Structure 1
Amino acid sequence: MAITLSARQAADEEARAEVDVLTSRLEKTAQLTKKIQASLTRLETSGRSVQEAIGPIHGNTQRLQVLGNNIDSILGAIETVRGPSDIKNNEEEIIRSGPDNAGLSSYLASMNRVTRALSDLKSTNMKSNQQALSDLSRLIQFGNQQLESVFRRILQEDAAPVEPLNFITKQKPWPTLSQDKTTRLGLINSFVGARQQTSMVAQAQESPTAKIYANVRGPYLQASLANLAAASVNTAKKKSADAIYKHGTNGIGMYAQAIEGAYIAEHENVCALFARDDWGRVFNLACQGAMDDVGRTLRELNVHIRAHLTTDCFLAYEILEIISQLSSRVETQTGELKGPFGSVLKPIRDTARTSLAELLDDTRKRVSGIQSIPVDVPPLPITTETMARLQTMVEFLRPISGIMISLGDGNWKSASGTNASADTTPSLASFDVTADGKELFAHYSADTVDALLSSLQAKGAQLLKTKQLQGVFLANNLVVVNRMISASDLAPLLKSRIPSLDTWKKKATSLYMDPWLETSRILMDVVHTGGSRTGGGRAGRPASGSTGNESAAVVKALSSKERDTIKEKFRQFNATFDELVAKHKMLTMEKEVREAFARDVQAMVEPLYGRFWDRYHELDRGRGKYVKYDRGAVAAICAGLA
């Protein structure tokens, strides 16, 4: 119990001690709090004092910053205003001095700086800069005029016309601008082009440098080609109006060579100076005048050809081939001028196409217009001229074949057929790619020969009284046709068509042999001898080569009336035979015609007369009163007709 009380007292003492400690700490905390509160009070008082002291200074500082910013803006605006004036002063001397004095590179650099300054100045939109804008614009305009003047002057240094023959005959390339000049011209053009792209108005117009180039180079091309253009027209004129045009005698071939050389060289110049997108436009501008001259030259040639179509249609074929090939080569090299070449070639192409039908019509009209035929019925000049035309056509077979393929087989027989296809330039679709140009020419030649011989036959029937004359007339002309085919390049082309001439030969032979047939019919009349009427009335007829005794037996069996009939037949034969032989010898025949007709006469007359003579020659008993010729004499006379 005592222990328990003592322990509790000890615990209480310990608790009082802890309380005393806590009380002491609370007092110290209270004191510290008072000190902190006093410090905060003093700090708040000091902060208000500082704020009251610093506030005015801060406000002044802000106002000073605003003022400084305003001053900087004013200085910038002043600099902006002064800038154009400074640029004008700095660059004007260079620009006014010109590209030659300043140097092209320095001049273009100065122009670029002024151009940029003008662009910047426009973006400020300040009224105070209006004068500066005007000054810089005038300066740029002056500079551009200077550049364009230099561009023109450099081009004009090589604008003197040249003599094309000097380059053609010596096979020298056509002259182009030197690299130094193309470099300078290219720099100027690039600057002008860049400036044009910034202007919407200028973009809708042709570049000044492009215009200058065309204005300088265009006349240069025209003047350089003018002599050959004139020569092409002059060489079309002939001393003899009826002379057929010969291949290569016109100056159009040389003219085409000059055009090709000039155009390709000009395209090289254009490519060296201008941007790719401008090549075609500038090239066409430069060549426009020269192309107009080509068109004028071809129109003049076409007028000449139309006036002398039968002799000079070949010039149309030659021009068509030469200019078509020229157009193809120029297009291959430049990619340009196909359309212009097609346009200037159209009159010649139309003439070439219609000429085929017109030549056929001309042949018919000329034969139809013949008023008389010589009594000896020789071949007419129209035959030789027509065949000479066909012979000459072979020399122009390539362009003619192209024309015929585009027309189609047989469409040359009338002018309407050729005109229907002449309104437009032929395209690939209009061609029969399976057509053979040589075969079509053979068809055309056959049509020409048929037109000629048909017209001659009709004219012979109209003007010549006898079929014999008509036959000789037709045969003489036919031989000329056959001879001129065989002796020329027509032979291999018309080989398959020559058999058609046999039909005409048979017509001529039939006409000529008509009176000989009548004479032969005298010898073919049937005579019935006494009691012998079998075998078609020819019983008792001695074989060819029979003896006089056999003839005597036949004659003896004849009645007096039958003898009189035989005597009359001998008289008729003698008279008509002598007359036909005399006419045969009087007629003018081509050697081949005379020989052919002689063979035909001999083949018809000699066997018939021989049989007739074998049977009845004893009727005359060798006196020659009725039987004028023996079989040998008739054979000799027939052989002598050749």
Structure 2
Amino acid sequence: MMVAPRRGVYAEEAAEVEVLNANVDKLKSLRKKIGASLARLEESGKTVQEAIGPVYGNTQRLQTMNTNIDRIQEVIEKFKAPLEQRDREERILRSRPDRVGLQEYMSSIDRTSLALRNLKTTNIKSNQQAVSDLGGLLQVGIQNLEDVFRDMLRQESQPIEPLKQLTTKAEFPRLSSSKSGQLRTINQHISTHASQVSHPGELTPSARAYAHERGQYITLSLQNLATASLSTARKVNADAVYKQGSNGIGHYAQGIQGMYTAEYDSISAIFTREEWGPVLQATCQSSLATFASTLGNLDTHVKSNLLTDCYLAYEIVDVVSNTSLQLENRTGELKYAMSDALKPVRETAKSSLTTLLNELRTKIQQMQSLPTDGSTVPITSEVMTRLQLMTSYLPPVCSLLRSIGDGGWSAPSAGTSSTSIPTVKSFDVGADGKQLFAHYAADTIDALLAGLDSRAKNLLRGRSLQGVFLANNICVVERMIRNSELDPLLTSAQPKLDSWKKKASNAYLDSWVETSKILLDVHGKNAPRPSSTGAAIDSSAILKSLSGKERDVIKEKWKTFNTQFDELVAKHKSYRMESEVRRQLGKDVQTFMEPLYTRFWDRYHEIDKGKGKYVKYDKGQMSGALSSLA
């Protein structure tokens, strides 16, 4: 019973095995077929690959080319954009700014400038025409904007009369803040875009326009002051000495300073810091040329009237130097331009200091006669008046003396310009100008007195008269020093003046000395010597000790002395003396003569026993006579 079921199970499994084997055989057969198919397919794939490979490579190249073409088209479109924009901007820029609106016009310039910069960066030859077109268009726009800039300036540039500002102490006009703001905006656009079509270092078109319009405004405004400076220099009287402040140069310089300073403020509100100096220089160029020409004409006038109008040259030097300094401090500009304009007048003023000394010497040497009464000559007061006037121009004169150097006013010889011989002292800018002036004044006075002394010796007879003449002129010199601003300046010159006074006094006393020799004691053989103890002198005893011949000599001495003394007194009183001179010379005579006369009288007055035959003056009378000389 158990065996039968097992066999049945085995039979089923055997049947399944057979089925599986049959399926395996079928799979093997199928695999063979598939392998054969794959072999054929692989063979076919190789054939296809060989055929399609070149086509695929060409396709890749075509795709790259297509990409490049797309990019080129993008660039072309980018290049075409400014060209298309040019047409749009041209309609605006070819119009006037006032028609399209100033703001819109400047925006159009900005866009055109940007397009031009973009085209220039491509560096493609095909764009050169477009660059040229846009550049020309931008130039048109800048020119139209410049015209607006110029028109706005012209409206604000009506000439003024600076004298009104000076007399009323009003501010010189400046451009209003609103107008300056508009001009500044326009200038920024012009400056920014003009750099693409102009050379570096040049003034921008707006700067040139400003310099022209405002320069013309300044020149026309100052014209009347320039004319006044020349007209006030004309002389009615050829011998009239220039009076300080009578020329219009002071107002002219003040007008220049006021207008230039105001213009600097206006420029500062419109242009960049780097442009302030160049624009101011360009703006003032025309008016500075007129100023230089005016100073040149004044220089010619001074040269023609140097002895009387050298003070005008000093005033010009002072006024213009101060103006230049003020402008330099305020603007930092125009120093050299002002200095160049002043140079001819300054050189004339400098040379005048030497010329005046030479003219003084020449004028004295040309004197053909001198006062026979010993009175002064006009040249003394003329020279001292000149020195007094110079103290009114002390700053410029000191400046000129520093440039010449101590003693340099006497250095040049005839035909040699003082300005052509520089010395070490000429460069001593720290020299004491007042001390130099004191030296110059002392040299002038010394030249005056030396010349007068020399001419007196040649033209006046008698040492006394020569001494009086010299003393009188010294007195005038001292008085004019004492009564003026020269007094504190010339303290160092007093020793030299004292030396001249002593010389004059000695010359005057020369004749008195000759007369005083009569009073010198001549002792007889048996006459007692003069007492040195101060004891009383017995005139009678002295005379008794003398021989008759010796007494006759004493009598003759008294007669001769009386005659000569009276002549000297009469001559003294005939001289025309300054009060100080008469007083001083009288004192000198009394101091010298009275002790000698007193001593002689004490010894020999009993010669005529009081009858007055020989002894004309007693001691009191002689003292009175001598006192009357003062």
TM-score category by the smaller chain? 0.7 to 0.9
After TM superposition, list the pairs within 5 Å mapping 1:572-611 onto structure 2: 572-611=560-599
**Superposition pairs of residues 476-625 of structure 1, within 5 angstroms:** 476-524=472-520, 526-532=521-527, 538=529, 546=537, 550-625=538-613
Following the alignment from structure 1 to structure 2, what is the Cα–Cα distance between the partners of residues 403 and 303? Answer: 19
The one-letter code sitting in structure 2 at the alignment partner of 1:185 is: L
1:211-235 CA distance string (max 9 Å, x none): 2222212121111112222222333
| Structure 1 vs Structure 2 CA RMSD | 3.7
How far does residue 398 in structure 1 lie from its aligned partner after superposition? 2.3
Q: 1:338 to 1:418 in 2, by over 3 A?
A: farther
Contact 1:354 1:419 (C-alpha < 8 Å) held by counterparts: no
**Which residue is equivalent to 1:171?**
169
Q: Give % identity.
A: 47
User: What letter corresponds to residue 299 of structure 2 in structure 1?
Assistant: N
Bigger Cα displacement from structure 2, 312-321 vs 64-73: 64-73
Cα distance between partner residues in 1 of 2:135 and 2:95? 17
Equivalent in 359, 363, 366 of residue 362 of structure 1: 359
State the Cα distance separating 1:50 from its structure 2 match.
8.0
Gaps of 5+ in 2: 1-20
Question: Distance in 2 between the 1:78 and 1:611 partners?
Answer: 134
Partner amino acid, structure 2, of 1:148:
E
CA contact (8 A) 1:270 1:279 kept: yes
Contact 1:540 1:554 in 2 (8 A): no
User: What does residue range 174-213 of structure 1 map to in structure 2 within 5 Å?
Assistant: 174-199=172-197, 202-203=199-200, 205-213=202-210
In the TM superposition, residue 99 of structure 1 has moved relative to its aligned partner by 0.9
Q: Label 1:515 to 1:29 Cα distance change in 2 as closer, same or farther (>3 A).
A: farther
- Paired residue for 2:250? 253
TM-score, normalised to structure 2, is 0.86
Provide the rounded CA distance (Å) in 1 between the counterparts of 2:582 and 2:425. Answer: 52
Question: 1:428 deviation in Å?
Answer: 12
Corresponding residue number in structure 1 for 2:618: 630
Q: What is the rounded CA distance, in whole Å, between the counterparts of 2:95 and 2:596 in structure 1?
A: 116
State the partner residue of 2:141.
143
The aligned counterpart of 2:451 is 455
364-373 vs 418-427, which moves further: 418-427
Provide the residue aligned with 1:293 in structure 2: 290
In 2, the alpha carbon distance for the partners of 1:391 and 1:627 equals 52
- Report the TM-score, using the length of structure 1 for normalisation: 0.84
2:425, 2:590 → 1: CA distance? 59
Cα distance, 1:53 vs structure 2: 11
* Shift in alpha-carbon separation, 1:26–1:485, aligned structure 2, 3 A: farther
> SS of 1:372's equivalent?
coil
> Offset at 1:514?
0.5
Deviation at 1:31, TM superposition (A): 6.2
Runs of at least 5 residues in structure 1 that lack an aligned partner in the other structure: 1-22
Deviations 1:453-494 (A, max 9, x none): 111111111110111110000111111111111222222222
Q: Sort the Cα spacing of 1:500 and 1:85 in 2 relative to 1 into closer, same or farther, 3 A.
A: closer
Corresponding residue SS for 1:481: helix
Q: 1:426 to 1:329 in 2, by over 3 A?
A: farther
- The question of 1:469 aligning with 2:428 is answered no
Matched residues in 2 for 1:234 and 1:57: separation? 103
Question: Does the 8 Å contact 1:471/1:512 carry over to 2?
Answer: yes
**Cα separation, 1, equivalents of 2:317 and 2:23:** 130
| TM-fit CA distance, 1:573 | 0.9
Aligned to 2:9: none
* Equivalent-residue separation in structure 1 for 2:413 and 2:50 (angstroms): 116
Q: Give 2:332's aligned residue.
A: 335
Note closer, same or farther for the CA distance 1:488–1:544 as it changes in structure 2 (3 Å cut). farther
Which aligned pairs between 1:322-401 and structure 2 lie closer than 5 A? Answer: 322-401=319-398
Cα deviation digits, residues 371-395 of structure 1 (max 9, x gap): 1112222122111121122222222
Structure 1 contact 542–614 (Cα < 8 Å) conserved: no
Aligned counterparts of 2:367 and 2:425: Cα–Cα separation in 1: 43
Q: Which amino acid aligns with 1:290?
A: S
Paired positions, count:
609
Give the whole-Å Cα distance in 2 for the aligned partners of 1:518 and 1:569.
Answer: 13
